[in-house]
């Protein structure tokens, strides 16, 4: 079934009418081939490169601080500016993608990220570097909602949850890759070389993204039926070539015509049919990122406070992060087998419990053991969130829904590192981690009460 936004209207153009009747069923019946998998890998570069950029500051903050003689407050501001830029990028890119298309915004976000990185390599003082970090954040924040929307609109329902979940797997890969590149480049060429590497990667990503077509579902949602037909014919041709035999026939599902009366995407989000889902996603992202960044910001410090050297604490944080790989693989598998809603709730609650138990530990062994479990469930949680969020909104404002949810999450990411040290100072370690865990529990409750199940459903059926 399709999104119904108004009465069914007659259409004198029989070709356009037939296209509307069959677009969803034509997309859903496509077998998953190397063509869609290649599109997945291209879209996944958003997670890989953005992870590398956020991780870069972990490895180059010390030489930057030495060169510009930064205070602790200034170093913290430098780290926070990326998150502030991500709030702006995520909230605006979603609306632009719903208005002008997924593909142009997906390309432009990479240009913003890449050229801001190049200027950062030439920054001459703290102010210029802060401005660059903000615009790097704008480009990074713009990537996620558009990438989520694109992938969800290409992959058939039977595989959509798994592939959306697998996107998160490129985050730890990017973090580890950045660490390895930093070890090779920074000692020889300095911290500026890292930003040059980021610029070169952005050009490579720009080249790869030429192969990503516009979403046929987006064309259809805008009433651009001829463009939608051309796009789906191109996709069918590529899938047929990769499949090596004729495609299975499309179903006969009737999809009513969409209304030509449109409202602003944000108004759609707060309209009566969608308001519960909007409240659910905004609450989920804000509470989860508040807890997550509140805790992970302090992981190395807790290890150091337990008697471990600074170098050792960073090394063990990287080692614990490796447990995120089986975490996201497990979640991606369960999303298709069990369902989106129970997997999201389970991993968020497990993350809350692991966060609390982590705060109870005092020995290095306990922190490392519990921290490894915590990273496992954290990355499983991220996979579930990224898979679930784009599915609950209609195509005509899907990117806006993902973008505003991500923006609320980045606000939580700014608040979390401030809440946890306040709790640490006034109530101690255990209470601080209990606060972070309780924040996640609120997100799980929002999903349990307001969230729909989307497993094995076409996007049009979910948004009906």
- 38 with 148, same domain: the answer is yes
**Token output for 259:** 């209304």
Q: Which domain holds residue 214?
A: 23-249
Residue 370 pLDDT: 82
**Structural domain includes residue 63:** yes
DSSP track, 392-442:
GS-GGGHHHHHHHHHHHHHHHHHHHHHHHHHHHHHH-HHHHHHHHHHHHHH
pTM more than 0.85: no
**Token output for 2:** 């399709």
- 199 with 294, same domain: the answer is no
pLDDT digits (tens, 9 = 90+) for 378-414: 989 988 998 899 888 888 888 888 888 988 988 888 7
Chosen domain end from 193, 224, 249: 249
- 269 with 242, same domain: the answer is no
- 201 with 242, same domain: the answer is yes
pLDDT digits (tens, 9 = 90+) for 404-454: 898 898 888 878 777 776 777 777 777 778 888 899 999 999 999 998 888
- 171 with 307, same domain: the answer is no
Q: From 5, 2, 11, 1, select the one nearest 267 (Cα to Cα).
A: 5
Asked if 144 and 92 count as a contact pair (C-beta separation under 8 A), the reply is: no
Q: How many domains does the chain have?
A: 2
**Structural domain includes residue 2:** no
Phi and psi at residue 31, in whole multiples of 5°?
-70, 150
The whole-angstrom separation of Cα 424 and Cα 421 is 5
Residue 1 pLDDT: 35
**Structural domain includes residue 1:** no
- 237 with 358, same domain: the answer is no
- 197 with 323, same domain: the answer is no
**Structural domain includes residue 259:** no
**Structural domain includes residue 447:** yes
The whole-angstrom separation of Cα 191 and Cα 255 is 55
DSSP track, 324-341:
HHHHHHHHHHHHHHT-HH
CA distances from 237 to 10, 343, 372 (A): 30, 35, 45
The whole-angstrom separation of Cα 202 and Cα 112 is 9
Place of tokens 């000692």: 187
Would you write out the chain's pLDDT as a tens digit for each of its 464 residues?
333 333 333 343 444 444 444 777 888 888 888 998 898 999 888 888 878 877 777 777 778 888 888 776 677 677 778 888 888 888 888 888 888 889 888 888 888 888 999 999 998 888 899 999 999 989 888 888 888 888 888 888 888 888 888 887 787 788 778 877 877 887 888 889 889 998 998 888 888 888 888 988 888 888 888 888 888 889 889 989 888 888 877 655 444 444 444 566 677 777 778 889 999 999 999 999 988 887 776 655 555 555 555 445 556 666 777 788 888 889 988 998 898 899 999 999 999 998 888 877 777 777 778 888 888 999 899 889 988 998 888 888 888 888 889 889 888 887 877 777 677 777 777 777 888 889 999 999 999 999 888 887 777 777 66
- 178 with 223, same domain: the answer is yes
**Structural domain includes residue 137:** yes
- 54 with 173, same domain: the answer is yes
**Structural domain includes residue 127:** yes
The 3-class secondary structure across the chain, one letter per residue, is CCCCCCCCCCCCCHHHHHHHHHHHHHHHCCCCCHHHHHHHHHHHHHHHHHHHHHHHHHHHHHHHHHHHCCCHHHHHHHHHHHHHHHHHHHHHHHHHHHHHCHHHHHHHHHHHHHHHHHHHHCCCCHHHHHHHHHHHHHHHHHHHHHHHHHHHHHCCHHHHHHHHHHHHHHHHHHHHHHHHHHHHHHHHHCCHHHHHHHHHHHHHHHHHHHHCCCCHHHHHHCCCHHHHHHHHHHHHHHHHHHHCCCCCCCCCCCCCCCCCCCCCHHHHHCCCCCHHHHHHHHHHHHHHHHHHHHHHCCHHHHHHHCCCCHHHHHHHHHHHHCCHHHHHHHHHHHHHHCCHHHHHHHHHHHHHHHHHHHHHCCCHHHHHHHHHHHHHHHHHHHHHHHHHHHHHCCHHHHHHHHHHHHHHHHHHHHHHHHHHHHHHHHHCHHHHHHHHHHHHHHHHHHHHHHCCCCCCCCHHHHCC
**Structural domain includes residue 17:** no
Chosen domain end from 224, 249, 274: 249
Residue 61 pLDDT: 75
- 276 with 229, same domain: the answer is no
- 315 with 368, same domain: the answer is yes
Residue 2 pLDDT: 36
CATH number, position 342: 1.20.1250.20
Phi and psi at residue 13, in whole multiples of 5°?
-85, 105
Chain center to CA of 415: 19
213 conformational bin, left if phi > 0, alpha if psi -120 to 50, beta if neither: beta
Is residue 118 classed exposed, middle or buried when 0-12, 13-18 and 19+ CB atoms within 10 A define those classes? middle
Chosen domain end from 223, 249, 275: 249
Range 203-226 burial, b when 16+ CB lie within 10 A, else e: eebeeebeebbbbbbbbbbbbbbe
- 96 with 245, same domain: the answer is yes
């Amino acid at each position: 079934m399709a999104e119904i936004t108004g009465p069914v209207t007659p259409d004198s153009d029989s070709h356009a009418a037939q296209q509307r009747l069959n677009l969803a069923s034509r997309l859903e019946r496509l077998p998953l081939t190397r063509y869609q998998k290649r599109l997945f890998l291209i879209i996944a570069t958003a997670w890989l490169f953005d992870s590398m950029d956020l991780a870069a500051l972990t490895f180059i903050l010390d030489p930057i601080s030495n060169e510009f003689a930064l205070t602790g407050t200034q170093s913290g501001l430098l780290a926070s500016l990326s998150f502030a830029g991500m709030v702006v990028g995520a909230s605006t890119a979603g609306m632009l993608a719903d208005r002008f298309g997924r593909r142009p915004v997906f390309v432009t976000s990479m240009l913003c990220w890449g050229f801001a990185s190049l200027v950062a390599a030439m920054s001459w003082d703290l102010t210029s570097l802060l401005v660059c970090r903000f615009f790097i954040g704008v480009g990074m924040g713009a990537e996620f909602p558009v990438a989520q929307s694109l992938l969800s609109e290409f992959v058939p329902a039977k595989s959509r949850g798994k592939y959306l979940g697998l996107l998160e797997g490129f985050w730890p890969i990017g973090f580890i890759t950045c660490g390895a590149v930093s070890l090779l480049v920074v000692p020889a060429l300095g911290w500026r070389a890292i930003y040059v590497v980021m610029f070169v990667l952005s050009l490579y990503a720009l080249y790869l993204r030429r192969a990503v077509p516009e979403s046929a579902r987006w064309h259809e949602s805008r009433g651009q039926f001829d463009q939608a037909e051309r796009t789906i014919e191109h996709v069918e041709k590529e899938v047929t070539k990769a499949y090596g035999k004729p495609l299975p026939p499309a179903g006969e599902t009737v999809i009513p015509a969409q209304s030509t009366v449109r409202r602003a995407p944000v108004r759609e989000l707060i309209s009566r049919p969608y308001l519960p889902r909007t409240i659910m996603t905004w609450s989920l992202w804000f509470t989860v990122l508040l807890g997550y960044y509140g805790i992970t910001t302090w992981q190395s410090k807790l290890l150091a406070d337990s008697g471990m050297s600074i170098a050792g604490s960073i090394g063990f944080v990287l080692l614990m992060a490796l447990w995120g790989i089986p975490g996201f693989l497990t979640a991606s598998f369960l999303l298709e087998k069990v369902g989106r809603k129970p997997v999201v709730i389970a991993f968020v609650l497990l993350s809350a419990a692991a966060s609390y138990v982590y705060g109870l530990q005092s020995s290095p062994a306990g922190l490392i053991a519990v921290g490894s479990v915590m990273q496992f469930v954290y990355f499983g949680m991220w996979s579930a969130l990224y898979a679930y969020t784009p599915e609950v909104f209609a195509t005509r404002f899907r990117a806006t829904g993902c973008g505003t949810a991500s923006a609320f999450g980045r606000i939580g990411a700014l608040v979390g590192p401030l809440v946890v040290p306040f709790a640490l100072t006034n109530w101690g370690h255990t209470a601080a981690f209990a606060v972070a865990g309780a924040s996640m529990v609120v997100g799980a409750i929002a999903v349990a009460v307001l969230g729909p199940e989307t497993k094995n459903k076409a996007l049009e059926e979910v948004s009906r």
